[in-house]
Amino acid sequence: MKPSKFNILSHGKDNPGHILLYNTLHDHRILFDDPDLNPETLFEKIQHGSPLSPKETDAAVDLKEMGILLDDDVDEQKVFEEWYHAKIRERTDIMQVTILPLMACNLACHYCFENAVREKGKMSPEMTDKTIAWIKRRLQKVRPENLNIHFFGGEPLLHTPPIKKIAKELWKFCQDLGVKMHMGMITNGVLLTPELVDELVPCGFEWVKITFDGDKEAHDHKRVFHGGKGTFDIIYNNLCAIAGKLKIAIGGNFDAENYDSMFSLVERLKRSPFADDIIVARFKPIMKVNSVIASQREGGGRLSSFCDVCAFNSKQVDEMFALQKKTLETGLPVQERPDIGPCEYHSRHSMTIGPDGSIYKCPAFVGLRNLMAGDIEHDDYNDQGEKQLMTQKWDHECETCHFLPNCAGGCRMAAVNQTGSLEIKSCDFQYLKEGTEEFMQREIVALSRSSEAYAVDLPSFDSLPT
């Protein structure tokens, strides 16, 4: 027998004698707190063919059933690839559609170049109907258990007719089809009203993601109206007005200028009337898109991050985790694990529809015509879309990486941005390593309270490459 290459072990810093085993492929988290059952010793014995104690023998049987120990002849890369095919690329339990009703925005954030193209690209009534019809056809074909609709932009609330029509028609269609529909919106929050929320909640509107770039002073410097006026109070008050109605995800973009103010922001959010609605708060460095990509994009795009849905970044990892620590200490939730993927790009039945009916595999691609995966005049992806789905996203080095199931070769937009190619991995190993270590320490504390003992070789964090 041999241990899975996707096992990671971590020793409890505040819980001596507690060892957590985390398997990134199966998402098993097992706490060992029995002095007679040490996973490192067990794995070593198994690898050397040494005799096992009765307790170790029992544990080995269970661990094999869980895919944490494997027969020597198992090709685990093949196991991973079969998992990727069935559970990620061709999954049919979830269909996720991100819709951009328009590319324009009512803000002029300093790090965003949408400003130059503000008036372009608004979804017409005809395109709205075609979008609804396209999604309905896809739903009938795929029959997923869940449909996730995300509205994004530009600023989606600048153009609500498509949002209302799509939400209402698809909700009814999903009810008849037996599909559970969930809806969320990534908005700057300036136009968010209780009336709109009340109108859309019956159609499955569940969450909003809102960005604060620091406390009032710092935010008002970065996230401004076109005349330069800050937006903090408007957004904050709008969130107060919808308290209790929606789940709220908080995002934030930082650079050297506003980093310190993120700490006071976290405290203010915790004291807010909507603190109990916050499901996650996560803060990322402001990203720079290379000038070639920026010049190719039609209709706009964000420089703050490639997508506001995903969390990834290897830059300024220490700053990110210091903020995460502060968020936790303050009592707000953080992202559980530092997954980069496999994101929606990897799944056949997840896609982004632009205001003109163009279809992309990633929201950050919208406007990059060479990356268009299809359009709503056609039910299937075009050759570029199929190629994006089918091309391998990881390389030989990834095949020996613990994080392959949480990464699958990294963010594709980052790959294009960094290398110009979709087919080269974009490695954020350091981010995954540090984030996973933090996550495992939290798991040790949580599981120690309801300990389920158990047990396995693998390198600990200390031996992972950096």
Closest approach of Cβ 285 to ligand SF4, in Å? 15
Closest approach of Cβ 275 to ligand SF4, in Å? 27
The answer for residues whose C-beta is within 8 angstroms of residue 271's C-beta and 6 or more apart is: none
Distance CA 352, CA 354 (A): 7
**Cα torsion angle, 340, 346, 347, 350, sign:** positive
Distance CA 93, CA 144 (A): 5
Helix 317-330, helix 429-448: angle, nearest 10? 20
Question: Which phi and psi angles does 122 have, rounded to 5°?
Answer: -125, 135
Of 134 and 306, nearer to ligand SF4 (C-beta) is 306
Closest approach of Cβ 401 to ligand SF4, in Å? 3
Distance CA 288, CA 171 (A): 37
How remote is the C-alpha of 223 from its chain's centroid?
Answer: 23
Give the binding site for ligand SF4 (CB under 6 A).
306-307, 309-310, 312, 341, 343-345, 362, 364, 394, 397-398, 401, 403-404, 407, 409-413, 425, 427, 429, 432
Of 27 and 397, nearer to ligand SF4 (C-beta) is 397
**Cα torsion angle, 72, 73, 75, 80, sign:** negative
Closest approach of Cβ 82 to ligand SF4, in Å? 17
| Tokens standing for residue 285 | 């460095």
Closest approach of Cβ 132 to ligand SF4, in Å? 23
Of 269 and 293, nearer to ligand SF4 (C-beta) is 293
Distance CA 126, CA 162 (A): 10
Closest approach of Cβ 398 to ligand SF4, in Å? 3
Of 100 and 203, nearer to ligand SF4 (C-beta) is 100
Of 21 and 289, nearer to ligand SF4 (C-beta) is 289
Of 429 and 454, nearer to ligand SF4 (C-beta) is 429
HSE-up of residue 281 (Cα within 13 Å, Cβ side): 28
